[in-house]
Amino acid sequence: MNVTEIRIRKLYDDPRLKALVSVTIDRDLAVHDIKVIQGPERLFVAMPSRRDENGAFRDIAHPITPAARKILEGEILAGYQQALEEAGIAPCQQQSSD
């Protein structure tokens, strides 16, 4: 898997939701509405999802293997850090675990 583009669509000043991201893979597939979330211990990536008929959220698109998830999450979080730097926002302001 080759991540060819990371677009940070929006940065949020929210305790949990930090960014909305779009990713292009191999210049052939775009995945939108990926979220960067501040968890209790670290930032993580939440794939786009929707609520099913039972009220549970189900991913619409997601990596199949742990290796693919690690690559995708690493690229997204690196893009997020770069967007913070470009916006002049200190990462510690965005990543507090309050």
Mean pLDDT of the chain, nearest integer: 91
pLDDT at 89 over 60: yes
Confidence of residue 24 (pLDDT cuts 50, 70, 90): very high
CB 17 within 8 A of CB 34: no
Question: Average pLDDT in the 37-51 region?
Answer: 95
Q: Check: pTM over 0.95? Answer yes or no.
A: no
What are the angstrom distances between the C-alpha of 49 and each of 31, 56, 88, 95?
A: 11, 10, 30, 23
Q: What is the mean pLDDT of residues 66-94?
A: 88
The pLDDT value given to residue 92:
52
